[in-house]
Structure 1
Amino acid sequence: MVNDSTRLSAQDWARAALEAIANGGLAAVAVEPLARTLGVTKGSFYAHYRNRDELIAAALAEWVRTHGAEALADFAAISDPAQRLRELLTVVVQAVQPLAPSVHLSLLGARNDPRVRDAIRQVNQARLELLDRTYRELGLPPDRATSRARVAYAAILGLLHLAQTDPDAPHPAVLADEATAIFLPS
């Protein structure tokens, strides 16, 4: 919790909004509850945003920045495609925690909102492009690389979904080993 003597940035508010989205969807983004969570007054909010819609737009932009192409840059820079895929799958699968909320999955409930649809599209596109490129570099023909990328990404999203409802899910390291074994071409 932040006390009143600490000045919050617009990014602090956007991150708090993302946490609210992960826990309760877009409807959970409300100024007064966020201010209470952050330990500040509503005035702090209005120093950065004119309204809730601006905060939602900033939160979605922050999510795209931290989960889209920019966030994948370190993986994209790995020259060995097998190592890249192994590291990417390991990091992603190990990040999946039982009963943990997910911004991505929570946003799906508001996918008819054009802002949400665009943010999800950007994140999905960046992830699929990296997977597709990796599978091509591993020697799969373009059509198979695209299909394999989609199946791998669907499995990742499926693990996120299962983790939200299954407290007895296998340890993330076990899942990472399995994902690597399944999705690395032999």
Structure 2
Amino acid sequence: MAADSLTVTGRRKSREDWIAAARKVLVKSGVDSVKVDRLANDLRATRGSFYWHFTDRDELLNALLHDWEVNNYVAISTIRARWASSTPDLTELIEWWVREGTESPAFGMAIRTWARGDATVEDVMHRVDNEWINLVQLLFSPETYDESERLVRARVVYFHQVGYHALAMREPQEERLRLIPYYYKVLTGREASDNLFNALRAIGKGEPAAPAKTRTRAVAKETSKRRKRS
């Protein structure tokens, strides 16, 4: 590896290091502040280190955007795969979003701000948003709701999540968790399930998410209980 790929401290920085540094600056100061010299200074690296990994600044920005897009698609695919073998449950999405499984909310908001002045970023943002909305529609059975109502309900759920962070709600975690069952009822028209309360308790205690199989069994159990009551 060429000598100019070294940092000024002698330790090589990876491509991921540069992307992580760019993400931090994007969140704090916006895309116009994502400059090679600034990142090199933040990382205590040489410009040669940057150009070892990237042709130019545009390639770094594309990598940063791609990172956000792929992380969202991984989350969507993971939840869709779980729902393929169980009844779709908003609890899965709530748990993922509250635990910030896809990204920090600040990163998502920074992408949306960036998109206002860049058509390419805007296209990617809308593509990701549409994939989330398509996923959320699975929560609403076509046997109960027509196509238009399923779409609108899915949008309301998703807009709620995005709007919570867009408004920069100042709310302690405890209060947010307390209110989630009410949001659940308003968004789905159903009472909060035992599965949701169990997930919220785990989040409140700082416990890791339950394994996928455990969640699937819990959802299946709750579905069986609902069928017996109906």
Letter of the structure 2 residue corresponding to residue 8 of structure 1: K
Q: Within the alignment, does 1:4 sit opposite 2:9 as a pair?
A: yes
Change in 2 beyond 3 A, CA 1:78/1:179: farther
Counterpart pick for 1:179 among 180, 183, 200: 183
1:101 Cα shift?
A: 6.0
Match of 1:56 among 30, 37, 61: 61
Paired AA for residue 59 in structure 2:
E
Normalised by the length of structure 2, the TM-score is 0.67
Match of 1:132 in 2: 137
C-alpha distance in 1, partners of 2:62/2:143? 37
Note the C-alpha offset of 1:41: 2.0
- 1:117 Cα deviation after fit: 0.9
**In the alignment, residue 177 of structure 1 is paired with which amino acid?**
P
- Quick check: 1:120 aligned with 2:125? yes
Among candidates 76, 83, 104, match of residue 80 of structure 2: 76
Highest Rg: 1 or 2? 2
Does the 8 Å contact 2:88/2:138 carry over to 1? Answer: no
Deviates more, 1:149-158 or 1:121-130: 121-130
1:81-92 → structure 2 map (5 Å cutoff): 81-83=87-89, 85-92=90-97
Offset, 1:131: 0.6
Change (3 A) 1:142 1:43: same
Deviations 1:70-98 (A, max 9, x none): 22222111233443x211123213439xx
Q: CA deviation at 1:149?
A: 0.8
Task: Determine which structure has greater relative contact order: mean sequence separation of CA pairs < 8 Å that are 6+ residues apart, divided by chain length.
Answer: 1
Cα displacement string for residues 83-126 of structure 1 (whole angstroms, at most 9, x for unaligned residues): 3x211123213439xxx762222233332312211221222122
CA distance in structure 1 between the aligned counterparts of 2:163 and 2:98, rounded to whole angstroms = 11
2 CA distance for matches of 1:55 and 1:48?
9
Gaps of 5+ in 2: 1-6, 191-230
Q: 1:149 aligns with which of 151, 154, 169?
A: 154
Question: What letter corresponds to residue 49 of structure 1 in structure 2?
Answer: F
Q: 1:46 to 1:167 in 2, by over 3 A?
A: same
Q: Distance in 1 between matches of 2:130 and 2:15?
A: 26
Where do 5+ consecutive residues of structure 1 fail to align?
none
Q: How far off its partner does 1:37 sit?
A: 2.3
Select the residue among 38, 41, 45 that pairs with 2:43. 38
